[in-house]
Every structure is written in structure tokens, then in C-alpha cells.
Amino acid sequence: MRDFTVLVLPAAFGTSVAVTLDVLNAAAGLAPRLKMPRPTWRVVSPDGGGVPLSSGLQVETVAMPDRSRTDSSTWIIPGLGVDRPADLAARLACDDARRAIASVRRHGARGGAVAASCSAVFLLQAAGLLRDRRVTTSWWLAPELRRIEPACTVDADRMVCADGPVSTAGAAFAQSDLMLHLLRTRFGSALAEAVGKVLLIDGRQAQAPFVVPSMLSNGNELVSRLTQRIEASLPRPPSVAALADEFAMSQRTLARHVRAATGQGALALVQSVRLNRARMLIETSRMTVEQVAAQVGYEDATALRRLMRKAAGATPSKFRRVGRRLDCQAVPSRPSAISSTKGLNCWTERSERSMDESIMDTARLDIHVPEGWTCWIELTRTPKGTYAGIAELSLCGIPRCALVITQQLSWDAAVERATARADHFVRQWTPQRAH
């Protein structure tokens, strides 16, 4: 009997599927060294065979098991590749999704464990498995999940929520956190920690540090205007009473609209905007914490530290470590040889410091990509002096593609690989958006 069943639907988020399989493969390779049994798994889909994923990837699967079989494995559903609330219902109404929902419902009814991240949490909801559970999902999809499943508690601040046999995780790369959690639950912390160290991933506790307040509106015009108003007023944000007066409604009505759209109150929205600005200043500037606090309207740094620790589970100094950039005078290089002939032009910035690799332990830098896209690389120096790490490509703040660089490469080789991947994906994606 296998430990895990990975259920993949067509057009699923390629990185979510890849991370799932890479973590399991790493665990299988490390388990004998720790004198532990190897994890076993199967990859299934509604129809079996090759299943196309996002980004032009494909994974081989077998057909979902017959309903009569007893199954003690944990079913894992990677992200569905849907990032807009308006598209979720249509995706789950497709024939393949309906059959997957029925199978997951039967598995759950027999007491089987299930796990999902990002938009796949909505498949668990459709299967009736979230009622009276505490769950999480992508933070920008949380209001929609609260709306369609009021009987569950949606804790969008958490990276992973485990409630009985149901485990859920947040957006995109939270699949890696979910996989470490499942390994820890089934095989113990030693194997999970070993996998985390080899793949350079760490089990994070909160999504809150990554929330972009303007995206919480999910198309709600009032919340979008409120967010813009609060951001423009910093460092002197308006009170909730002042906002209510300005938008010609009572405080109670304002709070009701904000909670319906975001799942949080009006005061929490104000605090979220302030903390997001503080995080950005800490990550990207040389301001002291005291200066940042003043920029977002706090009288002293102690208040900012306390609120960041409460809301995001991290101190300002941790954000500065995570977000730090190469401390150097960057010199733009010429576009890489693989840059698009259609003018998409993805390339990296070189620096004098990057030539001296021996002095860098961890570094993060940006790839130049077309307007609307963002791409970063974070590399960590290994004991052998080589580099491994991760790159992420996002469109309008939503992750679209990722590359986990597990091989130990030179600095230049690791950057070149990530840049080439970004360039290829942007060229592939741009024609699709034109139609």
C-alpha cells in the first residue's frame, strides 16, 4: 500500500506538481541514510496517461483507482492552475474535475486523509470535506472560500492548516510547506528536516508576510478605492470613522462591505496597508526600523515590531534578511543570448561583487523582464562553494512559473539557467494573452 496518492488534473500548476514529486523523490533518496522506510506514492488523474500542466509541462499518470478499493494513502491535490475566483466554478464544473471530486469525496467518507494547496482547496470544498474545519488557501482566494463555505474557518494568514484528516496550504509555493508537513506527519521530523535542507526549503508558518493589500479586493471597487486612499495618506492614515464619512456610509456599513470582500474588518485593512508599506521599505531601503515606523505612521519602532510579529509572525530584522539585495553598484550586462527576438528582452544585472563569489552566502537579485512581470532569483552558497536556490516569475503579482535549482552550480550558471527559463516562459505566455 502506498503512502501518498498525487491527484493531478489537466492544466494544474506545473510547479505545484513538480515540487510535490521532487520532495517525494528527495525523501525516498534520503530515507535509507536515516534508516527509515522510503515513502511510496502513485500519480493519478481522471483519465490516466500523459496529463498536460501549465508552462508546457506534462506528467505521466495512471487512472484514478476504482471506488471499491481500500486506500490508506494520503491524497494530495496540487494547485489547479486557476488564480481568479471567477474561474474556479467553471473549472470545477468540468467533467474531469467532477469525477475527481467524486473520488476525493469517497476517499474522505472512508476516513482517508486529504491535502491540497492554493486553488485545489476549492476541490476539497466541492467534495464536502471542509465543513467545520479550519483551513487555508491562497490569501487572495480566501474571501471567495469564506463566501461559498461559511461552515468552515478560513485562516488565510497560515501557510499550512491541519485539522484532522484534512491538510490545506496557501498560495503557489506553499505546496513545498505542505509536503514538508505531510512528511513530518507520516515519517517524523528527521526526514522532513533532511529534505528541507537538501532542497533549500523551509517550513514557513505564515502567508501574512506576502499579502498585497490591493489584491485583497478581488475586483471590489470600494475596497480598491479604500486601499488606494489609505496608501496615499501614509504616514497619516485616516481613521475608520474618517473613511466612513469620506465614503458616505456608516462605520458599520463600511465594515460589512470590507469584511465581505476581504474577510477582515476595516481597521485590519488599514493595518494591513501600513504593514505592507513597512515591509517593502524594510526590504528595499536602508532606512532604520525607527525611520520606517515614522513613514507608516507609528510613533515608535516598538509598536511596529509588535504588530509585525503579531500579524506576520516575523520581526522587521527577518524581513530585512529575506529581502536583502546585493550590496553593490550594479552594472547592467548585455541581454543574454537566449533573449527573445520579439523584443521581450529578459536579462540579469551583473555586479562587481558577483565576480567574487566566495564572499556571498545568500544573495537575491532581480531579472529584467517586460512590464507587468517580476522575476527574482535567490541563491545560497553551499559548503562546496557552489550555488543552489530558487527563481520565481510572476505576472501582476501572481506567481506563474518557478524553477528549483537543486544542482550545485556556479553563480553564473545558476543565474543563466534562471534567466533562460524566465525568457522562455515570457515568450510563451505573451502570445497566449494577446488572444
The 160-163 sheet, strands edge to edge: 49-52, 58-63, 41-45, 4-7, 74-77, 114-117, 166-169, 160-163
The mean pLDDT value for 301-314 works out to 76
Of the candidates 218, 205, 91, the residue with the CA atom closest to the CA atom of residue 155: 205
From-to residues of CATH 3.40.50.880 in the chain: 4-205
Q: What pLDDT does 40 receive?
A: 96
Q: For residue 259, is pLDDT > 90?
A: no
* CA 194, 62, 54, 208 torsion-angle sign: negative
Q: For residue 352, is pLDDT > 50?
A: no
State how far the Cα of 379 lies from the Cα of 195, in Å rounded to an integer: 17
| C-beta neighbour count of 375 within 10 angstroms | 25
Superfamily holding 211-323: Homeodomain-like (1.10.10.60)
Task: Name the residue with higher pLDDT: 337 or 406.
Answer: 406
State how far the Cα of 220 lies from the Cα of 263, in Å rounded to an integer: 13
Q: What angle do CA 24, 323, 169 make, to 5 degrees?
A: 35
Per-residue exposure over 333-350, b if at least 16 CB sit within 10 Å of its own CB, e if not: eebbeebeeeebebbbbb
Q: Is residue 180 within 8 Å of 192, Cβ to Cβ?
A: yes
Confidence band of 23 (pLDDT split at 50, 70, 90): very high
Q: What pLDDT does 289 receive?
A: 85
Q: What pLDDT does 102 receive?
A: 95
| 406, amino acid identity | T
Q: For residue 277, is pLDDT > 70?
A: yes
Alpha helices, H only, 75-155: 85-92, 95-109, 121-126, 142-148
Q: What pLDDT does 199 receive?
A: 83
| 87, amino acid identity | D
Q: What pLDDT does 325 receive?
A: 36
Q: For residue 339, is pLDDT > 50?
A: no
Q: Grid coordinates standing for 40?
A: 511510496
Q: Is residue 114 within 8 Å of 101, Cβ to Cβ?
A: no
The mean pLDDT value for 223-230 works out to 85
Q: What pLDDT does 173 receive?
A: 81
Q: Grid coordinates standing for 85?
A: 475566483
Q: For residue 342, is pLDDT > 60?
A: no
Q: For residue 323, is pLDDT > 50?
A: no
Q: What pLDDT does 84 receive?
A: 86
| 51, amino acid identity | V
pTM, full prediction: 0.58
State how far the Cα of 419 lies from the Cα of 397, in Å rounded to an integer: 18
* DSSP reduced 3-state for 337: coil
* CA 254, 258, 260, 263 torsion-angle sign: negative
State how far the Cα of 6 lies from the Cα of 61, in Å rounded to an integer: 9
pLDDT digits (tens, 9 = 90+) for 384-418: 667 676 666 666 555 566 666 655 677 777 777 77
Q: What pLDDT does 303 receive?
A: 84
Parallel, antiparallel or unpaired: strands 4-7 and 41-45: parallel
From-to residues of CATH 1.10.10.60 in the chain: 211-323
Q: Grid coordinates standing for 300?
A: 515608535
pLDDT digits (tens, 9 = 90+) for 120-176: 999 999 999 999 999 999 888 888 999 899 999 998 878 889 999 999 998 778 899
Q: Is residue 101 within 8 Å of 123, Cβ to Cβ?
A: yes
The mean pLDDT value for 303-326 works out to 65
Q: Grid coordinates standing for 430?
A: 505573451
Q: For residue 345, is pLDDT > 60?
A: no
Q: For residue 349, is pLDDT > 90?
A: no
The mean pLDDT value for 227-247 works out to 90
What average pLDDT is seen over the chain? 78
Least confident of 264-268, 275-279, 354-358, 375-379: 354-358
The mean pLDDT value for 208-230 works out to 67
Q: For residue 354, is pLDDT > 70?
A: no
What is the C-alpha radius of gyration for the chain, rounded to an integer number of angstroms? 22
State how far the Cα of 362 lies from the Cα of 300, in Å rounded to an integer: 31
The mean pLDDT value for 305-318 works out to 72
The mean pLDDT value for 79-98 works out to 92
Q: What pLDDT does 85 receive?
A: 86
CATH number (2.60.120.10, 3.40.50.880, 3.30.360.10, 1.10.340.30) of 4-205 reads 3.40.50.880
